[in-house]
Amino acid sequence: MNNWHPELIPIMREEDYHTHYLGETENGNLFFGYETFVFSNGVPGADWENNRFEYALVYLFDKNGNHLETKHKLAGKTSEISIGKTSKLLNELLVDLGRLQFKDIKVKPFKSIIDGIEFGLIPNEKCEMIELQPSSTIAFGEPWNGEYDT
């Protein structure tokens, strides 16, 4: 246990929801794929579609839960992309990984910088949660059983 969280954060696969693309590659690495967004100025605002950028991401970890690499594709501004483009890009990233086994994983908190923005499973000391950033889509906390809050 680090001060308030375990070294390895369990993440439960929940089909057709935030942790759908979760599991192990054929070479034994772990993966977590998802779609997210970032507001260029940090807040939605009235013109949110022109201020929001959509990303497809796949995080790769070794079998011990250490972050190895972040693969990502920028789909573009929400106002300029077709429906389903981000999902298509995510599927391309996943296909490149080869045969996948979908299952629960345990990984260590980490962060990657993409386009000057922090992405990753980042500890929030104030609320004692591990947040999936950017946009705090989901967060993990006690009892550290792999379930998450939205």
Per domain, the residue ranges of the chain are: 9-144
**41 or 100, greater pLDDT:** 100
Give the distance, in angstroms, between the CA of residue 14 and the centroid of all CA atoms in the same chain: 14
**pLDDT score of 103 more than 80:** yes
Q: Within 13 Å of residue 148, how many CA atoms lie on the same side as its CB?
A: 21
Q: Looking at residues 100-115, what average pLDDT do you find?
A: 97
The whole-number pLDDT of residue 83 equals 94
Answer whether residue 2 shows pLDDT above 70. Answer: no
pLDDT of residue 46: 81
Q: Quickly state the pLDDT bin for 137 (edges 50, 70, 90).
A: confident
Average pLDDT over residues 91-117: 97
In this structure, the number of other CB atoms found within 10 A of the CB of residue 133 comes to 19
Q: How high is the pLDDT of residue 114?
A: 95
**Nearest of 10, 46, 51 to residue 135 by alpha carbon:** 51
Closest Cα partner for 33 from 90, 85, 76, 88?
Answer: 90
**Cβ atoms of 11 and 148 closer than 8 Å:** yes
CB count in 10 Å sphere of residue 74: 15
Check pLDDT > 90 for residue 21: yes
